[in-house]
Structure 1
Amino acid sequence: MGPSFVIERLEFQRGDVWYARYFKGLVTFLVGHSKAGKSTALEALLYPLGLLTATVMPEVRSCQQVRLVFRVSGTRWQATRSGSNPRARVSLKNLDDADEIEHLLPVTSAKAGEKTAGAFVQDLLGLPQAARGATRVGLDDFYGTVMALRQNTIASEFLGGGKDAARVLALEVLLGLWNEDLAGLEKNASEAASRHRAARSALAAFKKLRDSGALADPDSVRAQYQQKQREHLATAERWQTADAALKVAVGECGRLVALHKAAEAQRRKTAKQAMAAQDKAKSASTEHARAEGELATLLKPASKECTCCGQLLPEREPGLCRQCGQKHNGAEDRREKDIAAARAKVGRLELRLRRLEEAAASATTQAAEADQEAAAALTARDAYDEAHLQPSRRAAQHAEKEAHGLSRDIAQLKERLESADYISAQEQVIKAAKEQMDAAMAARDAAVTAHDVRRKEVTALWSQFFLTRLQQINPDIETASIDRSDFTTRVKERNTTDKTFAESSVAGSPKVTTNVALLLALRDLGRVDPGVRVPPLLVIDSPLSGLGANGLDHDTGLRLIETLIDIADDASPDGYACQVIAATNDPLPRPYPGVREIGIDAENRFFDHAPRRDS
């Protein structure tokens, strides 16, 4: 048996006031006519635990908060959830340990690894997180399979009517039959078998292409591949030789470029020097011409006219100025001095001019030679580029292109060659895949054999308890069994053929009896088998539809009540009995010790007329 799970009360807040419904004792019946709100109350009962399948009725949505106070293995907990916003976080708090933090958990996980409120409660109940393929079971699956029978499915669907894969996996977990290691072995065996099938299919498809002629002959492809390899080797050698020659040509061309740059620089320098020398010579020539003009002026005959009046000057004695008649004071004639000075200047400028003209001529000659050298360097560079560098570059590029083209051809031929050799390689792949598959299946089968023994024993004992509970409710039941593969049932009454759950009546007590008896038998099994971890709590919505009638339905209803009370009397291993909370349209026919009735009608609705919570 799993840890005890006992509900103390359901609280709900409206406005600023907290109200509560108390579930004292181990058996509680909600009694009221149809549409009185019994199903609403039972749906809301475990809603605070973070269930996704709980129906949010208008009465629940009108509550600011809905809270469940319960005990698990004797420890008191409270779970609080918003009534108006079902997606809001759920608060879970340990009431017996003030030091433990409050857990605020989401209803659904938004990111990987985030724990939900349902998963937290599932851990409290000792139910592992189980998965098989795409099927995963959570608290909702356990609730809808073994903890509650809803009114809309109790008489028509087998254990809630959920997906078969989820129902089977949930029951395997509860029965202690789900083994994570076995699940891994089954997954490995399935994946190994899939790989083996895929490898065989690939080989079959390849052989079909080969037989149709779509694939080349392997020997021809191999010959082409080898020929291309030889061609590529020769081309690669030519490429290396051409590349080496190109590097030499690039180096020589670089040298010629450097020589041309130096010659060009020298040409510009000498041209500049020649121009400067010519400018100096031109300036000296101008200055010399000016000096010669001044000398020519001085060498002209002296004027015979007065510079003041223009009259002819009279003849004077030697030593006297013809114009003023005064003596020269014994000094040299001034005019002669000026002429001598002018002649000396002309001679000096003439020597300077001759020197500058020679320098200009030399600079011009050097400039012409530098220009010739620069032109020769340019011609040598261009000629080498055209005759050697460009041919070397074209040869290297052509060899490189040819080598790359052959590399692509070789790669393509290699792929074709690999395809041509695919059959032998794929046969090895298939062989290895089969060995892996056989090993995985052997490991799985060994584990399954041991598992099947346990499954057979557990299912057989469960079937015994199932028959006992069925006969307790309906003495006419003769045989009953539970299928050990999918846990479906077969039931036979006296003087009738045996029927599966789906073959019994469309609705009514046969299916109700089967569902209830199977869950009661599961709890009986939990008390004797420590590997069975079924929660003792059982919520049943309206199983006693015929209690107010007479005859067979009335008698069956009474026996069902007594059976539910009987299961609640048996204690769980941790000291708490199974708690049963059920709903019925008709009042119980008589008082039962330890059984509490909560009447629900228009004057005493579950939510609207609930008492205030005890302080």
Structure 2
Amino acid sequence: MLSAALRRGTPERVASANRTLLGQAEHRYLLRAPCGIAVKSAGRRQMATFNVEYALFEVDGVMHKRRFEAPMTALTGETRSGKSTLLEALWWTLGVEGMKLMAAAASCSCIGFTACVGTTRWRITRSTVNPSQDVLFTNITRGTDEHHPVRRSESRRSAADVFQDLLGIPRLGAGRTRVTLELLIPWLYARQRDLPNHYLGRQDKEQRIAVGRVLLGADDETVDALRQEYGSKTKKWRSASNRVKKILRDREERELPSVEDLQRRAAQWAAQHEEESAKARQAGAALSRLHAELAALQQKVSVAEEARRAARAAADGQVRTARRLEAVAAEARGRLAGLREAATDRSLCPQCLRALDPTGLSEDDCPVCRRFDPERQQRAEQFQQRMSQAQQAVERAHAAAGRAAQAADDARSRAADADRAVAEASATAHAFARDVIAPQQQAVVEAEAAVRELAARLEQNTEHLREVAELTELRAQLPQLEKDKMAAEAAYTVARHDTDLMVKQGTDRWSHHLLRRMRACDPEVISASVSPEDFAVTINGGAFDTRAVAGHGMTRINISTLLALRDTALEVPAMPVPQFLIVDGPFTGLGNSSEDRRTGAALLDGLTDLATSGHPSQTSGQVIIACTELHGSPGPAVREIRTSLADGAIPGLPPRQPITA
């Protein structure tokens, strides 16, 4: 009915439909709001507010505070006095990715902040000495402590997740577009380096859409559950459909036969596989027996080699014995020859064998003293006896040497026989391995190859049969899967259509406030709009990145867009947008011209309006800015904190040294 009214397009009907949609959105948000964060009171929704009371810095064991006591706090002063460092430290405490722990903050042993979220005061601190330690959440109202990790896991929420839950902003979506605090930061904290160059902190289109729809109150847990269910059902249906197409395509490409042919092939190949397996087993058994015979032959070779080694050792011993006895016989023959030579040569002394002069001597005269020797005859008989003994010794030694030589010849003969036995046994074993074992091994290899080939055919055929069974099953499931997908799609489409109408209405209001904010800065702006598709901004018909390469023109578009979003949230209670904003460098690039002064004053007034705005039943909002100096005339809601190198934004640290050329 609502979508029909919008399609008919009459202003009255559209306005009525929009009011109805806003009422539905507020009611939906009240139903899904976290306990203690959003409640219904006196007919109005009490959305959680977020105000930073103190920034905390522990230096040398002393906790120092930087108080944000006014609705709008302006950190002004010299460059490098620590203004941006303080702002980055707030988000680094929560473990937000991309936030830098600068040197001044790293000099503190612990940093954090105290904030009021709704009606509860929290103190959140994190160690800089060991950044991987859990972040400490202290509920000052209740006096309880909670420890939450810097990085989320399957079992624990991260500190950033816990803080987002306190704000009452749901974490919807999945993957890189899941609405986490990392994606929310560009909508809460405008960084100096991004303001004059990139829209919403260079957040890409898909992430911007995910965050924008959540902040406009369009996407909630119910819509996200329908979206996930639709995606899951679509994935199942698409997977089944693609699988059916793939199976059919593969069957067509490979020209696979019918199921009956596959079954006949399976039966035929199974019988052949069993037959070839039996042949392979028989061939293997025969090969095992032949290997046993070969082992017996090799054992014979080993025995023959052992006998050959023994025969060679015995022959070597006999040869050594023959040589030794031959040497003994030669020695005996030498002694006998010496005795014979001494007996036949009378010119030699029988004692020293020196030549004597026998002239004029008889047989019984001593050749030495040339006197009569009565014992000469006796010594001659003894010499003959020695001659006889030497002759006998020679004969015995000769006989022993002959026997030893014969034994050595016999041993060498036996060693030669052993060599022939080893050669014959080795030749027999080699011939058996070559002529019997090798052919049988080839037969076993061929039989096993045939078995493997048939097994592969059977496996492939079985896979084809499984694919056919899967194809049949998927074809039977596809109608129900498609029906489930279409039902989930219809449910999600209805919910998405309603939320798209909410987004359209919300962006219309957002665009209205954006035009008002932009005209306050530049009266020449005649049109401004926020796209309901991707929340991109268009000013005077031009997109954000076509206005200029960089500069304050882009800065005021960024700030005006963020301010206009909060203006819209004041009118649409269903939007979970805190009236809170941090801007680092809102006046960067402004000069002293009348236009620049008007722009600076308009931005200061807009930021001050946000700081003092709020629901009648709530406290005011809060704005924190950092700049070198304020433009325009700050009101009573603005508290200026002057910083310098001597008195930096982070209290408790020693003065910084100026940069010298």
Secondary structure, counterpart of 1:159 in structure 2 = coil
Contact 1:189 1:444 in 2 (8 A): no
Which residue pairs with 2:507 in the alignment?
A: 459
Of 157, 168, 178, which residue of structure 2 is paired with 1:136? 178
Deviation, 1:39, is 1.1
2:585 matches 1:537: no
2:196 matches 1:151: no
Q: Per the alignment, do residues 505 and 68 of structure 1 end up closer, same or farther by CA in structure 2, a change over 3 Å counting? A: same
Secondary structure, counterpart of 1:102 in structure 2 = strand
Greater displacement, 455-464 / 151-160: 455-464
Show CA shifts across 1:59-82 (max 9, x none): 111111213122112332211211
Which residue pairs with 1:582 in the alignment?
A: 625
Greater displacement, 186-195 / 413-422: 413-422
Of 168, 191, 208, which residue of structure 2 is paired with 1:126? 168
Greater displacement, 433-442 / 124-133: 433-442
Secondary structure, counterpart of 2:138 in structure 1 = strand
**Structure-2 separation of matches of 1:161 and 1:447:** 30
Secondary structure, counterpart of 2:108 in structure 1 = coil
Where structure 2 has 5 or more consecutive residues not aligned to the other structure, the ranges are: 1-45, 273-453, 655-661
Of 475, 479, 483, which residue of structure 2 is paired with 1:435? 483
Q: Per the alignment, do residues 123 and 200 of structure 1 end up closer, same or farther by CA in structure 2, a change over 3 Å counting? A: closer
Which of structures 1 and 2 has the bigger CA Rg? 1
2:211 matches 1:170: yes
1:228-267 to structure 2, matched below 5 A, reads none
Secondary structure, counterpart of 2:561 in structure 1 = helix
Deviation, 1:16, is 2.7
Deviation, 1:19, is 1.9
Which residue pairs with 2:436 in the alignment?
A: none
Which residue pairs with 1:399 in the alignment?
A: none
Show CA shifts across 1:296-335 (max 9, x none): xxxxxxxxxxxxxxxxxxxxxxxxxxxxxxxxxxxxxxxx
Where structure 1 has 5 or more consecutive residues not aligned to the other structure, the ranges are: 229-405
1:53-64 to structure 2, matched below 5 A, reads 53-64=98-109
Which residue pairs with 1:302 in the alignment?
A: none
2:217 counterpart letter in structure 1: G
2:513 matches 1:472: no
Show CA shifts across 1:253-303 (max 9, x none): xxxxxxxxxxxxxxxxxxxxxxxxxxxxxxxxxxxxxxxxxxxxxxxxxxx
Q: Per the alignment, do residues 423 and 187 of structure 1 end up closer, same or farther by CA in structure 2, a change over 3 Å counting? A: closer
1:585-604 to structure 2, matched below 5 A, reads 585-604=628-647
Deviation, 1:86, is 2.4
Which residue pairs with 1:51 in the alignment?
A: 96
1:192-231 to structure 2, matched below 5 A, reads 192=234, 195-196=237-238, 198-200=240-242, 202-210=244-252, 212-213=254-255, 217=261
Deviation, 1:199, is 2.4
Secondary structure, counterpart of 1:30 in structure 2 = strand
Secondary structure, counterpart of 1:434 in structure 2 = helix
Contact 1:29 1:596 in 2 (8 A): yes
Contact 1:218 1:420 in 2 (8 A): no
Of 73, 76, 82, which residue of structure 1 is paired with 2:121? 76
**Structure-2 separation of matches of 1:17 and 1:418:** 72
Which residue pairs with 1:234 in the alignment?
A: none
Deviation, 1:215, is 8.9
Which residue pairs with 1:523 in the alignment?
A: 566
1:120 counterpart letter in structure 2: V
Show CA shifts across 1:415-468 (max 9, x none): 655656776655434444333332332222222222222222222222222222
Show CA shifts across 1:42-69 (max 9, x none): 1123433443332101111111121312
**Structure-2 separation of matches of 1:64 and 1:583:** 24
Higher relative contact order, chain-length normalized (CA < 8 Å, sep 6+): 1
Show CA shifts across 1:94-153 (max 9, x none): 222xx54211222113552x122222221221112222355323223222333x100111
Which residue pairs with 2:554 in the alignment?
A: 511
CA RMSD of aligned residues (A): 3.5
Contact 1:209 1:215 in 2 (8 A): no
Of 184, 201, 217, which residue of structure 2 is paired with 1:160? 201
Q: Per the alignment, do residues 11 and 432 of structure 1 end up closer, same or farther by CA in structure 2, a change over 3 Å counting? A: closer
Q: Per the alignment, do residues 501 and 187 of structure 1 end up closer, same or farther by CA in structure 2, a change over 3 Å counting? A: farther
TM-score under structure 2 length normalisation? 0.58
**Structure-2 separation of matches of 1:89 and 1:222:** 63
Secondary structure, counterpart of 1:471 in structure 2 = helix
1:163-562 to structure 2, matched below 5 A, reads 163-180=204-221, 181-189=223-231, 191-192=233-234, 195-196=237-238, 198-200=240-242, 202-210=244-252, 212-213=254-255, 217=261, 426-485=474-533, 488=534, 499-562=542-605
Contact 1:476 1:493 in 2 (8 A): no
Q: Per the alignment, do residues 540 and 2 of structure 1 end up closer, same or farther by CA in structure 2, a change over 3 Å counting? A: farther
Which residue pairs with 2:56 in the alignment?
A: 11
**Structure-2 separation of matches of 1:211 and 1:66:** 66
Contact 1:547 1:586 in 2 (8 A): no
Deviation, 1:588, is 4.2
**Structure-1 separation of matches of 2:514 and 2:93:** 32
Contact 2:229 2:488 in 1 (8 A): no
Contact 2:77 2:644 in 1 (8 A): yes
* Equivalenced residues, count: 426
Which residue pairs with 1:282 in the alignment?
A: none
Which residue pairs with 1:351 in the alignment?
A: none
